[in-house]
Structure 1
Amino acid sequence: MGTTALDDTPTGRASTALNTNFPPGALSPVEIIATGPSDTPLTADAEARVNRFLTEIDGDARIDTVLPAQLNDGRMLAMAIPSVTFDSMAATDLVRDLRNTAAGAAGAEIRIGGSTAEFVDLSDEMTTKLPLVVALVLTASLVFLIAAFRSIALPLKAIAMNLLATGAALGITVAVFQWGLGENVLDFTSPGFVQVYLPTVVFALLFGLSMDYEVFLIRRIREYWDASGDNQRAVAAGLTHTARPITAAAAIMIAIFASFLTADILELKQLGLALAVAIDAVLIRLVLVPALMRLLGGWNWWLPALRFRPPNTRAPRAAAE
């Protein structure tokens, strides 16, 4: 976690002294809670198995020391001090390995907690829910765009272009902050990962911002199409009248988000770079979208007609006498 901006504060000085004179994991030890099934007291055999588990993990190179366990009402609490920083990939791997090992302790339920464990659980939860978020956003966008553009091809194209823009922004952010490309230029040290919330936040923000550009451009093209019926002329005229406003709006947002890169907090740098990427406004909205609309021609404006046959309201023929 990049918090160099806090180095001169009391909290920052305390953290520096702690990291300098004590194991890196002392800032956030791994909490180990052992109980019997359904939070019942441990039996003598189960307690022995828990002690063997603690002895086993004490030999792990990623653990500096395991503090003496405390026993209270048949339940055991122990603290393991990692030899790695609590927000590193090695620490998250340690928590996952401890949980896998703890699952084999018969007769005891061993739970692994602490700050790193919270990060692991949060990461798993957000990773699991991300496909649902993406599906909901795409479905809602498709429905609204079909209603707004009265077309099938344009909404599908808009969603594909927005996904391309989001994927490009996240890919560049991963290359810079996870792989460490450009560390010296942006003045940071790569932790080897990006923040877990970044894909969800960047997808939601970029998708919304990209859709603004898309609607602005396509609505103007639609106006010229309705007036002339000439797709090539409508695309050219719509692009001519919206290029400047789109470029100006994109330049303002790029300047705002790029200012995050000057922060000493790594999370802000990652978010700023992901949102400041100009691929969407420059390459996609002003090059790819018009080019695809030119190639699609009349298919841009195709929408299947929904024809409903009215019910037969004619009175039945009178029965013959």
Structure 2
Amino acid sequence: MATLLYRLGRWSFRRRWLVSFLWIVVLGIAGVGMMSGSGAAPSTFTVPGTEAQRAFDLLDERFPGAAADGASARVVFRAPDGELITSDEHRGVVEDVVAALTGSSSRVAAVTDPFTTDGAVSGDDRTAYAQVSYTEPSNDLTDADREGLTEAMELGRDAGLTVEGSGDALAVEPEVLGPTEVIGVGVAAVVLFLALGALVAAGLPLLTALVGVGIAFAGVATLSGPLGLDSMTPILAVMIGLAVGIDYALFIVSRYKHERAEGRSAYDAVGVAAGTAGSAVVFAGLTVVIALGGLFVVNMPMLTKMGLAAAGAVVVAVAVGLTLLPALLGFVGDRILGRGDRRARESAATGGPTLAVRWVRFVTRRPLAVLLVAVAGLGVVALPTTGLRLGLPDDGAQPTSTTQRQAYDMLADSFGPGFNGPLLVVVDATRAEQPQRVVESVADSLAGLDGVAAATPAAPNQDGDTATVTVIPDTSPTEAGTEDLVDRIRAGVADEAAAEGADVLVTGQTALNIDVSQRMQSALVPYLALVMGLAFLLLILVFRSILVPLKAALGFLLSVLASFGVVVAVFQWGWAAGLLGVEQPGPIMSLMPILLIGIVFGLAMDYEVFLVSRMREAYVHGASPRDAVESGFGHGARVVAAAAVIMISVFAGFIGSPETMIMTVGLGLAVAVLFDAFVVRMTIVPAVLALLGERAWWLPKRLDRVLPNVDIEGEGLKATLSAAAEPAAAESEKDGLSRSL
């Protein structure tokens, strides 16, 4: 592996114009594809195998044409205090707004009149709502369509009514790089300059990362329509691609500068950096791809697509780092070397230990005490995880300043908390001897259940063998009482109907959200087993050890549990919620834990590979186990710390996103990287390796003979370097060309 990448790096350096041109072509093709693409698909869930999904499929079959694929909005009207919405004056205003809504866009299919629709006026006659249906999905609505909707709502506000709206017709796709994300990239640039000591050196990782992210984002956007990717998929790809792209380039550039400081020519230094740091990049990228690709075990198409899109961004970042980066190093020449390199050489000459060396010596002198303190600290932070509740956010999780949240609160206040999350019960009576009687019996049973605020009469299909009943719970969509009600319907009413030859299925968005949460919980164990098992085998191949991969996996569990603890404390319990802009604490989004596990596992293995590979390299080259830990840590800790700060900055930038899922994942990833890099990899890892000594690198002889030697530490490069030495005159000519460019 190291020799192959060594040759690839030197080839890219020598053919820098060709390599750069090819990447520009790829970026251009991706950009053209994005401009001609059809855009993201509507954000809908399909969860094969769940009862809610089976009910949706049954409705499509038994009620053809009833399912609406277009966007919708619900406009809520409220009269001033002491007045009634049903008064002649306010009724006229509402009717004017309904007329304006009807004519607000050519894509409006229908608008209901609150005064002619059953149940659309509250019991106190103060609040009413109109339902707006569109012919096109929300992603195909234009700004003019949404402006027409808001202008119609303004008519009612100008007349003295409180008018708010909710629904996907009002949804606006989140920005890929908003102000907070740009600030995160700016912080990353500062950290790169401090770590590499030169503007040119700091600019290369940013440039290559942006090229990789541009290609990945454009590719995902191009495929959004054909593959049905939702609007959050490209954002996740950008988040992951930007972070790993900067980090991977940082490791290669840092190793290149180290080799130059050791006296190697630029041509050879590129090859060595690609062969050693590049090997670590390849295997680190593989762990991320394994973790993200493994999301398919959840059997949720949207989550699988998100994982594959992010994995694709990682593959692009690795490819860019191994080819375009060496090419750019050929252009910049000696300008990549800054004052920091001279200071580093002077420090090495005087023999003064760096901060990293002093820290690792402290850890290795007291490994057991340090290990216990670090593990206990992460354990305390992880304690809130025991109270983790999963759910999917609705408009009740929106900021109180938004019209969606205000409409949600008005409906809950006037029609009951369960009005925002109705359950749709489907009764399939095709096997029953008396379908109509069974359907009526089910409807009566539903109306009499505890926790049911109201149940509509059964609405049969044209054949009369299937019917639907809408059930309004007493509790809000995200409360535990609503989940209990769904369980009672499925366990009690369904069993009674089954005895009479009928099937009762509960669906609707609320029931689907509950099924998604349960699917997430049941998938965690097999997902962890798959991802950690594959990564464990990969790390055995990399480190040729059993205990080092085991330690890496256990350290990851500590990191992810601690990050869950922070997420629960902030988003569920409300600690520091105001500081971070979380206005409505509630259940954690059900997709977050498994998505966070996948991403964090890959990133945790990144730091494991980058840091421990330097220790392994020192050990293979003859250092004692403890000296190898200190030497490898001294060479890699500064770069790992810089990489971690960069990732934290990039991920923290997404905390300002208006999308709850992106905000939650951003915070979870930022704190997970903080814990994993500085507590696990830079504290627990050297402590454990110091305790294990020689045993850390033990591998059964039979397994050692079977495993291929990937040579990540570059031991096989020694012979290659001596055989591939370039004539001094040719190298001088190349350097002269680089400086002139």
TM-score, normalised with respect to structure 1: 0.85
Residue matched to 2:482: 91
- Counterpart for residue 446 of structure 2: 54
Contact 2:592–2:665 (Cα < 8 Å) also in 1: yes
Secondary structure of residue in 2 paired with 1:138: helix
**1:210 deviation in Å?**
0.6
Following superposition, the deviation at residue 221 of structure 1 comes to 0.5
Q: Could you tell me which residue of structure 1 aligns to residue 233 of structure 2? A: none
Identity %: 34
Q: Which residue identity is paired with 2:656?
A: T
Amino acid aligned to 1:86: P
| Cα shift readout 1:210-269 (whole Å, capped 9, x = no counterpart) | 100000011101111112231111100111111111111111111122223333443333
In structure 2, what is the equivalent of residue 30 of structure 1? 423
Q: Which of the numbers 64, 79, 96 marks the counterpart of 2:453? A: 64
- What letter is aligned with 1:49? S
Whether 2:494 is the aligned partner of 1:103: answer yes
- Residues 173-214 of structure 1: CA deviation (Å, up to 9, x unaligned): 123322332333333245442111111111100000010000
Range with bigger deviation, 21-30 or 226-235:
21-30
1:27, CA displacement in angstroms?
3.4
Aligned-pair distance for 1:96? 1.8
Residue 307 to residue 208, structure 1, CA distance change in 2 (3 Å):
closer
**1:284 and 2:680 matched:** yes
Give 5+ residue unaligned stretches, structure 1: 309-321
SS of equivalent residue, structure 1 residue 126: helix
Decide which moves more: 90-99 or 295-304: 90-99
Whether the aligned pair in 1 keeps the contact of 2:417 and 2:476 (CA below 8 Å) is: yes
Q: Is the CA contact (8 Å cut-off) linking 2:655 and 2:666 kept in structure 1?
A: yes
**Structure with greater contact order relative to length (CA < 8 Å, sep ≥ 6):** 2
Instruction: Write out aligned runs for 1:153-172 (5 A).
Output: 153-172=547-566
1:113-132 alignment runs, 5 A limit: 113-132=507-526
> Aligned partners of 2:456, 2:612: CA distance in 1, in Å?
64
- Check whether the contact 1:35–1:41 (CA below 8 A) recurs between aligned residues: no
Could you say what secondary structure the match of 1:68 adopts? coil
Q: Residue 179 of structure 1 contacts residue 190 of structure 1 at CA under 8 Å; is this kept in 2?
A: no
Counterparts of 1:131 and 1:41, CA distance in 2 = 43
After superposition, the Cα gap between the structure-2 partners of 1:259 and 1:93, relative to the gap in structure 1 and judged at 3 Å, is: farther
Contact 2:552-2:605 within 8 A present in 1 as well: yes
AA at the equivalent of 2:453: D
Any residues of structure 2 matched to 1:85-234 within 5 Å, and which? 85-105=476-496, 106-107=499-500, 108-189=502-583, 191-234=585-628
Deviation at 1:55, TM superposition (A): 3.1
Instruction: Give the 3 Å change call, closer, same or farther, for CA 48–20 of structure 1 in structure 2.
Output: closer
Q: Could you say which residue in structure 2 is the equivalent of 1:297?
A: 693
In structure 2, the partner of 1:317 is: none
Deviation at 1:29, TM superposition (A): 1.8
Check conservation: 1:5, 1:264, Cα contact below 8 A: no
Flag the 1:98–1:304 CA change in 2: closer, same or farther, 3 A. Answer: same
CA distance in 1, matches of 2:688, 2:469: 62
Q: Give the 3-state SS of the residue equivalent to 1:4 in structure 2.
A: coil
- Tell me the distance in 2 between the aligned counterparts of 1:307 and 1:252: 38
RMSD between aligned residues: 2.6
**Which one of the candidate residues 76, 85, 88 is aligned to 2:467?**
76
CA contact (8 A) 1:88 1:191 kept: no
Closer/same/farther in 2, CA of residues 44 and 68 from structure 1, 3 Å limit: closer
Q: Give, in angstroms, the shift of residue 28 of structure 1.
A: 3.7
Q: 1:229 to 1:150 in 2, by over 3 A?
A: same
